[in-house]
Amino acid sequence: MNRQLKLTVLGSNSASPAYGRFPTSQYLNINDHSFLIDCGEGSQVRIAEYKLKRNKLSHIFISHMHGDHIFGLPGLITSMNLNSRQEKLTIIGPVGIKEFLDVVIRLSYSFMSFELEIIEIEVSDKQLVLDLEDIAVHAFPVYHRIPTHGFLFTQKLMKRNIRKEVIEQYGLNIEQIKLIKAGQDLTLENKVIQNQELTNNAVEPCSYAFCADTIADARIIDHVKGVTALYFETTYTDELREKAKERGHSTSGQAAEMALLSEVKVLVTGHYSSRYKNVDLILSEAKNIFPDTVLGYDGLILDIQNYKRVKIDRI
């Protein structure tokens, strides 16, 4: 299994495209899975531009029904259809997403060459929405003007790998190997050999939390506590806290405070208001509170699995 957690930002602006920034969309590679998080206008353009694999997407997660988070979805789906996709595509999103897509598909006289599964969710607490062998995805409530979800993507802890040389050294049988991989010690002739002497260290699981449009609300902290990377919207600079509250958004300082309280390793900013041609001030304000802040911007590639060990790229 390919152990990875890599985020590519496709769009980082808020309500509409501006200054080369498209509305919200992110492409997440987690282990051997490819997911899309939100699908604002221009998402499929970015996927092609950044040479990402559209047909590798198995799931699309939609945070809420505002247009800057869903208007790219019909175009992406119909393009998949035109390219003769065969694999099932699952969309997980709020109530209304099925009706939205059904109407667009029907009125545009589109047809599906593949199975389109649409799962509508309503959550009042953290809820498991996807459970695979190696990863789990939870939805949790965030606090915008309409029902909105955040999503938490978590790698599951892998079994420890037994060192090849110890199999021959101790003449281990299949049952003993299974027990060692499950974490048990080995007992031979009344001698106990500790599991860590027989196995390689398991890779620590990483996690990514996506907090879509939301105010900075303390109730979110329990859902994202200790994640490796946290995306938290930063629509405005910090002097506009009142405006942010009125419109159901957050500022750079508020996002940084949430990251600090949540004890995350890295904060990713995004969802910038079109009032800002340059968003460097948003980054600097956040870094003043939470130094490990990365400017989320169209084309950012963040290797969450190896954060601090590799450079951050931008396409």
CA distance 48 to 22: 14
Which strand (E) or helix (H) includes residue 46?
helix 43-49
Residue 102 annotated among the catalytic residues of the structure: no
Which tokens is 183 given?
């974490």
CA distance 19 to 187: 65
CA distance 163 to 197: 9
Which residue among 38, 68, 298, 303 is the active-site one? 68
Question: What is the three-class DSSP state of 226?
Answer: coil
The C-alpha R_g of the chain, in whole angstroms, comes to: 22
- Among candidates 80, 89, 79, which has minimal Cα distance to 116? 89
Pairing verdict, β 5-11 and 25-30: antiparallel
The residue count for the chain: 315
Q: Which residues are catalytic?
A: 68
